[in-house]
Amino acid sequence: MTKKTRTVHDTMGELEVPIDALWGAQTQRSLQNFPIGSERMPAELIRALLEIKWATALSHAAMGRMESNKATTIAKVCRDLIASVKAGDLTHFPLVVWQTGSGTQTNMNVNEVVAECSNRLCPDLVFHPNDDINMGQSSNDVFPAAMHIAAKRILVERVLPAVDELIAGFDDLATRCRGQIKIGRTHMQDAVPIGVDQEISGWNGLLRQAREMLIEAAKNLTDLPLGGTAVGTGLNAWEGFDEIVATQLSEITALSFSAASNKFAELSGKQQLAAAHASLKMLANGLFKIVNDVRLLGSGPRCGLGELILPANEPGSSIMPGKVNPTQCEAVSMLCVQVMGNDVAISLGAASGVFELNTYMPMMIYNFLQSAHLLADGCASFQTRCVAGISINQQQLQRNVDHALMLVTRLAPVIGYENCARIVKDANNTDLSLKEAAIASGLIDAEHYDDLMQLQDMLTPEPSARNSEP
C-alpha cells in the first residue's frame, strides 16, 4: 500500500503531513489549530515573503554568512515558487488569515516550503527552514516588510492605473458634453446653472485628489524593518544587512525600498499601512459620491431626473419587463462601503500594537489587499461598462433650465435679494415662468431680462472692473 503521508518534525515533536505537501510541521500544526474561516493568506503576501527569502539569501551570501551555492539554490526556488503563485497556484500555502497575529505561521509556511524545495533541488546540501531560509530574520520584521511590499505593489500596479483610466474616461465624457448647460443642485434642490463638463470636472477633481494621496501613500511604504529581527534591536542580524537586503528587494521587485530608520516603530505600529489604506478609503469616499450622483442623474426614464442616459447592460427586474437598473453604480457603491468598513478594522488593528509588536497584521494586510482589488476592479468596470457609454438627455436638460426659478439669482445684483425672493414666490404661486413673474413685478423689462439671462455668462465669475479697463 502506497504511503499517503510523510513524517516531519519541529521542536514539539513529529507529525504526519500529506505525501505531496511541501510544507512542514509548523504549517501542519497551524492547519490543525486554526480551522477558522475560509479567508486564505493572499497570493500577493506570499509572493512578497518569497521575494524576501530570495533577497535575504543573496544578501547573506554577499556578506559571507551563507555559502553562495546555497544562496543561488534558494534564489532559484523562490523564483520558481513566485512564478507558480503568480499563476494562481497556492497549493503549498494553505494557511488562513485567522492565525497568530504576527503572521509567524505563514512565515514558517514559506520557510518550510522553500527549504523542502531546496533540499529536493540540491540533495547534497542541507537547507533548514529556520537556520537557512529564516537566517537573520524574525517573523516580526519579515511579515511587516512583506505587508509593505505587497501593499506598495498593488497600489502602483493595479489601483493607480485603474484610477487613471477612470479619470481619462471622465475627461472624455466632459469633452463630449462641453457647451451643454444644466441646472445645478444643492441640498437636492434646484440651484443655479452649471456646465455639464463643470459638474464632471468636480467628479474628476475628487479622483485626482485621491490619486495624489495614493501616490504619496505608496512612497511612504518604502521603508522596511528587515534587520530589526524580534523586537527591533537587530539581534542575530549583521550590521548593514538592512540596507543590503533593501537594495536587493528593490532590484527583485522593481520597486524602491530602503531600510527603516526606526525599526521599533515599524514593528510595534502600523502607521504607514493604515495611512495608505486611508488613501484607499478617500478614493472610496469620492467614488461613492460620484456613482450616486450618476445613478440619480440617470434615474427614470420617465419619472426621474433623466438627465443622463446610462448604458443598458442587462435586464433589471425579474418581474417588471423592460426595466433597466444602474447596476454598475450599485456594485461600485457596495464595494466602497466595504472599503470604508475595512478601514475601520485596519485603524483598530494599527492602534492595537502592544509593547514591541503589533499582532493584528494578517487581518490588516488581508483587508488592505481586498480593498485595493475591489477599487481597482470597480474603477475599471465602472469606466468600461458605464462611463464610456453615458450620453446626455439634452431635451431634459433644456426642460429643467426653462423651468428653473433659481435663475433669479442673476437678477439679485440689479433688483435686490428681497425683490427676487418675491418674484420666485409669485412664480410658484401663480404657475408663471420666472420671466413672466419678473416682468409682471414691474422691476425689470423683457429686454433687460433677456440680456441678463445669458446662461453661458452664469458659468464663470463676473469680470472685475479692473479687468474691463482699457
> Quick one: cell of 310?
446610462
449 Cβ contact partners less than 8 Å away, ≥ 6 residues apart: 411, 435, 438, 439
Predicted confidence (pLDDT) per residue in 92-144, tens digit:
999 999 999 999 999 999 999 999 999 999 999 999 999 999 999 999 999 99
Q: Which residues are catalytic?
A: 187, 317
Position 441 pLDDT exceeds 60: yes
Which range (36-40, 56-60, 315-319) has the least confidence? 315-319
pTM for the predicted model, two decimal places: 0.95
> Quick one: cell of 47?
509572493
User: CA 358 to CA 104: how far, in whole Å?
Assistant: 12
The β-bridge partners of 10 are: 13
Indicate the SS3 state at residue 402: helix
Average pLDDT for 455-465: 88
Position 465 pLDDT exceeds 70: no
The β-bridge partners of 14 are: 9
DSSP 8-state assignment for residue 155: I
pLDDT band at 2 (very low <50, low <70, confident <90, very high): confident
Query: Residue 453 burial (CB < 10 Å; 0-12/13-18/19+)?
Result: middle
User: CA 451 to CA 2: how far, in whole Å?
Assistant: 95
Contact between residue 297 and residue 349 where contact means Cβ atoms under 8 Å apart: no
Predicted confidence (pLDDT) per residue in 218-251, tens digit:
999 999 999 999 999 999 999 999 999 999 999 9
Instruction: Please give the angle made by the CA atoms of 326, 328 and 331, to the nearest 5 degrees.
Output: 110
The pLDDT score that the predictor gives to residue 464 is 77
Look at residues 111, 106, 100, 97 and name the one whose alpha carbon lies nearest to residue 8.
111
Task: For 102-117, give the DSSP string.
Answer: T-HHHHHHHHHHHHHH
Position 24 pLDDT exceeds 60: yes
How many CA within 13 A on the CB side of residue 90?
15
Predicted confidence (pLDDT) per residue in 171-224, tens digit:
999 999 999 999 999 999 999 999 999 999 999 999 999 999 999 999 999 999
The pLDDT score that the predictor gives to residue 1 is 63
User: CA 28 to CA 442: how far, in whole Å?
Assistant: 89
User: CA 216 to CA 219: how far, in whole Å?
Assistant: 5
User: CA 53 to CA 49: how far, in whole Å?
Assistant: 6
The pLDDT score that the predictor gives to residue 37 is 98
205 or 465, greater pLDDT: 205
Contact between residue 284 and residue 339 where contact means Cβ atoms under 8 Å apart: yes
* Residue listed under C-alpha cell 452649471: 194
> Quick one: cell of 225?
524593518
Indicate the SS3 state at residue 428: helix
The pLDDT score that the predictor gives to residue 196 is 98
Residue ranges of domains in the chain, CATH in brackets: 5-135 (1.10.275.10), 141-225+269-393 (1.20.200.10), 405-468 (1.10.40.30)
- % residues pLDDT > 70 (the chain): 99
